[in-house]
Amino acid sequence: MARAAERKAAALLAPPAPARLGDVVPAPERVEPDASGDYLLSVDAVIRVSADPAAVAVAGQLAALLRPATGYPLPVADTTAPVPAGGIALVLTDEVALGAEGYRLDIGTDGVRIAAGTAAGLFHGVQTLRQLLPAAVESATPVTERWVLPGGSILDRPRYPHRGAMLDVARHFFGVTDVLRVIDHLARYKLNRLHLHLTDDQGWRIAIDSWPRLATVGGAGAVGDAPGGYYTRADYRRIMAYAADRHITVIPEIDLPGHTNAALTAYGELAPDRVAPPPYTGTEVGFSYVDPASERTYDFVADVLGEIAALTPGRWLHIGGDEAFKVPAEVYAGFVDRTQRIVAGLGRDVIGWHQIAPASHCDGRILQWWGTTGDDPVTAEAVRRGARLILSPGNHAYLDMKYAPDTPIGHDWAGLIDVRRAYDWDPATHLVGVPAEAVLGVEAPLWTESVTTLAEIEYMLLPRLPAIAELGWSPRSTHDWDSFRRRLAQHGPRWATAGIAYHRSPELPWSAPAMPVPAPRRPSPSGDPLEHPPVSPSSDPPVRPGTAPGQE
């Protein structure tokens, strides 16, 4: 009670200045502030939306975002009829210039309007709106606050159609609720692809009806003595649906022909020597493969990819293809050719790590670059033959790399990746001999050999994932490290309020922590906890007596 009164008094005494209209991550394409147009969300505001089911769903998501912290009812009216001023309108328009994902946001004293050609565009506009409200909007419980939005207009469209992150659920298994929370993080930063690395030497994580032991036997373990696990078909469908509701397409990866020890433990008939190996719990790579000379292998590939395709609404199937060191080059190319034809036969487009480059071209073929050199004639040649590229350069986009030498988890084989290194590169010019038009976008992979909990996932993702998101979304003309680090630092209080772990990277001008910053449970090498222990999302909002939220 006393605390609530204190909060109220603080808010009255020190009304927070609204955010600046351009303080959004990823940076919008065009921003026109209007200092006289600030909008104050009031208790009686209505959310009005075009009468289209997908748009109405976005309005429901906006209401669900705003209700907990504001405590306002915010009813949703699916009507295009005029409503009283003071509300938020989500409007589907036929403005072709906004494209498949763009939106226009207009904020004035009378109300707020988000217009887009698609529900995805409206959804991205809602993410922008969320960032323009005070950080306390992330609170799970009501906060006394002036819910002010800065006046003006934003016109915003993505630079690239593919903006993704990858989660390795094979080295360590992460349950459905962890994956859903990662999807939420992607959605905040306007990412639209979640690549799930579903199979590897240490675990097979998806139930396949025609080869049931893949999951029950192959999914039993993980790295070290960590528990295994796998997604049932219902689990997987739940992930697909949750992602689709957030305008994110899931790209499942079945890594072939290498990284298959877990499959071989379940079905020794797929192994070159027909002997099932023991489970593997280490972190070496490149030793396992399914027998490319056996017809049984292609039955397996067709059955697995067929079941995955049937469960997956998205257009892409990722066939891995990395580090099959023991398969001779010619044999490997033949295997990839045949697997690509299986994918095409399922009506899907194939994606593979850039090692698949030497195989034949097929329609819609996409290579995912994970090298560290910026120069690879074999990949450039595959692009000349028609392949397109997703860029995940190991030395910029790999979120399993450590930030700094003392980062308690992660690798450093591709170097240390601090936030600036994640941010300071240009997808359009990154690879020698690859024209800008061949680049579909960017993706940040998180391999999980050393990542074991949700808090550790978040610690590695934040604050670097927004750097990759900005490269994927924002026009190159907005690229500016000083602007980015200042805008991004404002997300610290938002993550803290939402109970999301992150790394307080010393490169960013954070304000004082509003509450203990959740971080990995592992101690630093010195034995001191590196940062504070995780807090649950239901903790008190980060309001310090005498400080209005949003001013922190």
The contact set with ligand TNX (CB under 6 A) reads 285, 322-323, 353, 370, 398, 400, 411, 447, 449
- Compute the least distance from the CB of residue 395 to ligand TNX, in Å: 11
- Compute the least distance from the CB of residue 223 to ligand TNX, in Å: 10
Any alpha helices (H) in 26-104, and if so which ranges?
53-70
CB of 195 or CB of 494, closer to ligand TNX: 195
Token digits of residue 132: 């323009």
CB of 349 or CB of 449, closer to ligand TNX: 449
Q: Other CB atoms closer than 10 Å to residue 217's CB: what's the count?
A: 18
- Compute the least distance from the CB of residue 265 to ligand TNX, in Å: 18
- Compute the least distance from the CB of residue 259 to ligand TNX, in Å: 6
- Compute the least distance from the CB of residue 355 to ligand TNX, in Å: 8
CA-wise closest residue to 397 among 438, 439, 362, 447? 447
From the candidates 323, 330, 443, 470, which is the catalytic residue?
323
Asked about 145 being catalytic, the answer comes back as no
CB of 443 or CB of 449, closer to ligand TNX: 449
Contacting residues for 331 by C-beta, under 8 A, at least 6 apart: 292, 293
DSSP tag of 21: T
CB 308, CB 214: distance < 8 Å: no
- Compute the least distance from the CB of residue 272 to ligand TNX, in Å: 20
CB of 124 or CB of 430, closer to ligand TNX: 430
CB of 116 or CB of 409, closer to ligand TNX: 409
Rounded-to-integer distance, Cα 463 and Cα 460, Å: 8
CB of 283 or CB of 551, closer to ligand TNX: 283
CB of 400 or CB of 552, closer to ligand TNX: 400
- Compute the least distance from the CB of residue 472 to ligand TNX, in Å: 19
Q: Other CB atoms closer than 10 Å to residue 2's CB: what's the count?
A: 7
CA-wise closest residue to 473 among 55, 174, 92, 103? 103
CB of 369 or CB of 423, closer to ligand TNX: 369
CB of 101 or CB of 400, closer to ligand TNX: 400
Helix (H, G, I), strand (E, B) or coil at 534: coil
CA-wise closest residue to 196 among 244, 255, 242? 255
CA-wise closest residue to 489 among 33, 146, 19, 149? 19
CB 119, CB 57: distance < 8 Å: yes
CB of 235 or CB of 323, closer to ligand TNX: 323
Q: List own/partner pairs for 341-348 with CB under 8 A and 24 or more apart.
A: 342/298, 342/301, 342/302, 342/305, 343/305, 343/317, 343/319, 346/305, 346/306, 346/309, 346/317, 347/309, 348/309, 348/315, 348/316, 348/317
- Compute the least distance from the CB of residue 273 to ligand TNX, in Å: 23
Longest dimension (CA), the chain: 76
Token digits of residue 148: 């002010």
Token digits of residue 136: 């306390």
Cα dihedral 320, 342, 261, 195, rounded to 10, equals 40
CA-wise closest residue to 544 among 477, 499, 468, 493? 493
| Per-position DSSP letters for 396-464, written without gaps between them | HH-TTB-SSTT-SS-B-TT----HHHHHS--TTTSSTT--GGGEEEEEEEE--SS--SHHHHHHHHTTT
- Compute the least distance from the CB of residue 198 to ligand TNX, in Å: 13
Q: Other CB atoms closer than 10 Å to residue 281's CB: what's the count?
A: 16
CA-wise closest residue to 269 among 244, 246, 295? 295
Q: Other CB atoms closer than 10 Å to residue 131's CB: what's the count?
A: 18
Rounded-to-integer distance, Cα 189 and Cα 191, Å: 6
- Compute the least distance from the CB of residue 393 to ligand TNX, in Å: 11
**H-helix or E-strand spanning residue 48:** strand 47-49
Which are the catalytic amino acids?
A: 323
